[in-house]
Amino acid sequence: MAHLIKLPSVAADTSGGTLHQWLKKEGDVVAVGDALAEIETEKAIVEINAEQAGVLGRIVVQAGAASVPVNTVIGVLLAQGEDASAIDRALAEAGAAVQPAAAAAASAPAGNAAAACPPANCAAAPAGAAAAPKAPAAASNAPVPGGRLFASPLARRLAAQWHVDLLGVTGTGPHGRIVRRDVEAARDRAPAAAPAALAGRPAARRVPHTGMRRAIARRLTESKQNVPHFYLTVDCRMDALLALRAQANQGGAVKLSVNDFIVRAAALALREVPEVNASWHEDAVEYHAGADISVAVATDGGLVTPIVRDADVKSLSAIAGEIVELAGRAKINRLKPEEFTGGSLTVSNLGMYGISQFAAIINPPQAAILAVGAAEKRPVVDSDGQLAAATVMTVTLSADHRVVDGAVGARWLAAFRTLIENPVRILL
């Protein structure tokens, strides 16, 4: 019997996605577990794997189509021996559940497609594209419902890099999709002459929001509005840690960074003060069993926080290798949802940019985030009252006051500073 391939829910907070590309063609034989296609979500590109064996009989939603909701039928898998008629029967049996707006969109003139599609159903319209006539490519570069442009991920990245406004680009790809050559052509075209009053003034540009940027904006706004933040700041003397790191890196296969020490120290501090290793939910506070540290990674599309699981029981070299591997995949949108969902506490380190001190916004449902500044030479007063020069790093803990009381946050930060200033304990 024909099997309907539906867009899965790849993460708890994901309501839909875009078909980044199909990895199988119509007519290809598919085994259980084979990668069928890739979904582009707000934070990553995720593979869809086959749940049954068969032959890919039809691709219902083409690659690059506008975001479609979870459970939309995107393709049909035929069992051995079935013919094309089984596809039509399977789609017919699914009926309105497959594509509630398909009939209306197909029967409406191309110029009135927006009027024929009720707002509640417009998000599902792309799955009907296989049955509907192709619209002229020139009309396809207008934003679709929800503010998305019909453009490939590569075209979006190049447009941002070359300062090309996609709203003025006509797509020549499949179904009018904006592809690389369209962005290159727009880049090479001479800009229009500016009005005399603005001669010599750089023209303003507008870059459409990506799905990731929208997600970041939504989550951080919700966090700052709904989570009662409070902040605790301490200075940590780094001389002993830097000396230990230099010694550990002599001839070592894995080069340790200061951030690797910070991540493990944060996890060990969670073990010492488990009250901070918690998340707020409307019905309860959830205390986590493992110390899972999210590490903030800057990408071209925005901030991603891959997670080092059980960082309190891993060696520094294991943590270092894992961070490098996760960060590398984060920068090309290849993280799996479980690799950036959840976590106990986030470490956000801007020290490499020369930032001395800052306060970060909590990443819900976590209850805390540690903002790490640069390690820099400063004058300090030693315990014997003598003035000396030392390397000092300022860190600020942002905590959710619904979960973490001030004294609890202070105990965690004291435990963290003790580990940083006595780094041999981080190795144990």
- Give the catalytic positions in this structure: 401
Radius of gyration of the chain (CA): 26
| Nearest residue to 180 (alpha-carbon basis) of 163, 161, 156, 160 | 156
Instruction: Characterize the bridge pairing of strands 345-349 and 368-381.
Output: parallel
Reading the block at residue 313, the tokens are 């029981």
For residues 370 and 347, the answer to whether their CB atoms sit within 8 Å is yes
For residues 40 and 66, the answer to whether their CB atoms sit within 8 Å is no
Residues sharing a CB contact under 8 Å with residue 192, sequence separation 6 or more, in sequence order: none
Q: Which helix (H) or strand (E) holds 422?
A: none
Reading the block at residue 138, the tokens are 């020139």
Residue 114's CB is within 10 A of a number of other CB atoms, namely 14
CA distance 366 to 249: 33
Distance set, CA 136 to CA 125, 141, 171 (Å): 17, 10, 10
CA distance 199 to 193: 8
| Nearest residue to 68 (alpha-carbon basis) of 35, 20, 118 | 20
For residues 330 and 306, the answer to whether their CB atoms sit within 8 Å is yes
Residues sharing a CB contact under 8 Å with residue 389, sequence separation 6 or more, in sequence order: 377, 378, 379, 380
